[in-house]
Amino acid sequence: MNFFEKLDLLLKDVGIEDHNLFIHWVMKQLQLELDENAITAEQAPHKVLLNVSSLSATDLKKLFLFFNLPESTTPIENRIELSDSFLSEVVLPQFEEYVRTFAPNKTEIQSSRQKSALFDEGDEDLTDIDDFILVDSNDDQGEEIDYESYPWLNPAHPLYFPSTQDANPTSLTRWEAVDKFSVENWYPHLKKYTFESCFFTLDHADIEFLLGIGSSEYQSTNLEQKFDKLLSQFNNQEVFMRLSTRSPKDSRHLFDEAATLMSNDYFYWKDTDNKNQQLVSFVASMAKSMKITNGKKIIQMIQESPRVQNDLFALLSSESPSDCKTNIVLREWHNIRPDHEFRLFVSRRCREESIVTAISQYFHFLHFDKAPGDCFNFLDESIKKSLILKFQNYVLKSIDPAVARFLNFSSEQDDDNSINCIREYIVDLALVPISEYHGEVTDENKIEIGENTYILTVIELNPFAPSATGCGLFNWQKDLDILWGKAPCEYPIYRFRTEPRENFSSVTLLPSNYEQVIDRALVKRLVTSLPSVDSQASPSMSTASHSSRFFTSPPQQINETSSLGPVSDDMKCSL
């Protein structure tokens, strides 16, 4: 099956009729300001031919980089050749992740000539909308979003923060709202409550080098040495790395490392054929693979990450050399377990003081069924109530005053209920074992669960902005009044998964190739567990024999509680 046949099957599977969408997607990745017919493609034996006669030299350079071609490539008769296998194995999975994110939210993705919330060419504010999640599609595949009743959910709808309301209210796009919540902006206000962090600015020359188009005079060893020097300032020289825009979690190196880590993980993944345990182990292994101990890995991860490369390319294309800068953020490393991360929603709408309206496990698609004793799967009511109360007190007493100053909440009218103005935020918290914590320990941030003591720590701050931030086990449309704090119920509402999820196809937190990583981990585990390997049997055959059992699990359930007990049935919002 050639590339175009695979592409056709994918588009049919997600119900999209526009076969030009792939080329349109490529042009958006390259930030090409051209007519939609500027690039055409045709299938040839074992390759695809692109007609690039309408492209300038600068556009061609972008195209070569995107498709991993040498810069010296010369088009023959205005066409360039792309390997069919490269397109199928490397490019198609990225495109699949893109279309599967949006297909559940629209009956049909329209062509680039038509006006839509996703592809409005007349609105420059939507040029980077590709990574937005319109509604967390936990259980709502195919759900239509009612923008008329819920205009605030529309990615094109402006947002306002109290700090912009004083004289001349300034609307913010979703990306501008996200930028307001970048680590660089909130870290000075929450430094004592979060992981130690430092920031390194990449200039124009650094970015060109990381994109593979740098000058021959550029000294790459200098950049690596600068990173090593920064690492030496951290405990054990271990950090988590991201850019200002996002993290390189799609780096090929990480998937290779995660497969190896996962194959040796008997902590989360005890039952080889258990799909849910495989996913818990995958998430934990991917997180571990992102640990940085040297400058070389920082460079490698950036150069192997398509999502970061696209961001750098866009930056290089849109800014003058003097303004072309972005930050690398290095944060103190902690090996946080996936069951120890939580997403909290905080609101001050129509109130003088903030309240925590909702709490969700962060990895909403996971069920921690085989977790050890200190994982507290929340079936113990006393542990659950203690945790909820601790979360509330910590956020409202320690975090909220600093965030309120940062967002200038004090300047608003407490009875102003305009949906345009942001009076909420989202904070992600982690439980860090006290033995691994290096900051100040207080009564507010310390929590004891069983025989274990943890420190509540802020992972990051996020905007309360549908299509820019995920909502965990809640739903932006169905649960909006709950998240706003306007529903007549007892807050906070807490949700966690009590049984494994059955379908994972719409989970946006999972990379498109997660099943391949799990398969590779399984092969590694099977091979290492065998006393000898029969030359007639291949690892791929072993994988195939198990594949039919990978994707079965019981129906899912979601549990809701308030701080004082279960929520009554009439207050529950099903997902």
Q: What's the pLDDT band for 340 if we cut at 50, 70, 90?
A: very high
What is the per-residue pLDDT across 75-106, written as a single tens digit (0 to 9) for each?
887 888 888 888 888 888 878 877 775 544 44
Q: Six-digit token pair at 544?
A: 């195939």
CA torsion angle 86 511 264 369 (round to 10): -150
Does 560 map to a domain?
A: yes
More confident residue, 167 or 363: 363
Residues 354 and 393 in one domain: yes
| pLDDT at residue number 280 | 93
Domain boundary (88, 122, 156) is at 122
| Pairing of β 452-463 and β 424-433 | antiparallel
Does 153 map to a domain?
A: no
The total number of structural domains that make up the chain: 4
Q: What's the pLDDT band for 489 if we cut at 50, 70, 90?
A: very high
Most confident by average pLDDT, 9-23, 62-76, 245-259: 245-259
Is the pLDDT reported for residue 566 higher than 50?
no
CB 132 within 8 A of CB 534: no
Is the pLDDT reported for residue 18 higher than 80?
no
How many whole angstroms separate alpha carbon 208 and alpha carbon 68?
15
Name 367's Cβ contacts closer than 8 Å, sequence gap at least 6: 276, 497, 498, 499, 500, 501, 556
Residues 275 and 356 in one domain: no
CB 280 within 8 A of CB 258: no
H or E stretch covering 253? helix 252-263
Domain boundary (122, 139, 161) is at 122
Residues 407 and 423 in one domain: yes
What is the reported pTM? Answer: 0.70
Is the pLDDT reported for residue 320 higher than 90?
no
How many whole angstroms separate alpha carbon 488 and alpha carbon 572?
11
| pLDDT at residue number 94 | 79
Domain range enclosing 95: 3-122
How many whole angstroms separate alpha carbon 517 and alpha carbon 512?
10
Residues 563 and 425 in one domain: yes
Mean pLDDT for the chain overall? 77
Does 467 map to a domain?
A: yes
Q: Six-digit token pair at 112?
A: 């680039």
- State the amino acid at position 427 in one-letter form: V
Residues 244 and 363 in one domain: no
| pLDDT at residue number 55 | 82
Does 12 map to a domain?
A: yes
Residues 485 and 533 in one domain: no
Q: Six-digit token pair at 203?
A: 């200039």
What is the mean pLDDT of the segment spanning 105-112?
37
More confident residue, 436 or 136: 436
Is the pLDDT reported for residue 117 higher than 60?
no
Q: What's the pLDDT band for 560 if we cut at 50, 70, 90?
A: low
Of 141-145, 355-359, 390-394, 483-487, the one with minimum mean pLDDT is 141-145
| pLDDT at residue number 406 | 85
| pLDDT at residue number 448 | 86
What is the per-residue pLDDT across 24-63, written as a single tens digit (0 to 9) for each?
888 877 767 676 677 888 888 888 888 888 888 778 877 8
Does 454 map to a domain?
A: yes
Residues 353 and 461 in one domain: yes
Please state, in angstroms and as integers, the Cα–Cα distance from residue 183 to each residue in 188, 198, 243, 329, following that order: 9, 10, 10, 8
Please report where in the chains the tokens 């549990």 appear, as a residue: 559
Of 27-31, 159-163, 352-356, the one with minimum mean pLDDT is 159-163
Does 485 map to a domain?
A: yes
Does 171 map to a domain?
A: no
| pLDDT at residue number 437 | 92
Q: Six-digit token pair at 362?
A: 């962060």
Give the helix, strand, coil percentages of the chain, each rounded to 5: 40, 15, 45
Residues 461 and 561 in one domain: yes
| pLDDT at residue number 104 | 45
Residues 267 and 345 in one domain: no
Domain boundary (311, 332, 353) is at 332
The distance of Cα 199 from the centroid of its chain, to the nearest Å, equals 21
Does 541 map to a domain?
A: yes
Of 135-144, 263-272, 321-330, 537-546, the one with minimum mean pLDDT is 537-546
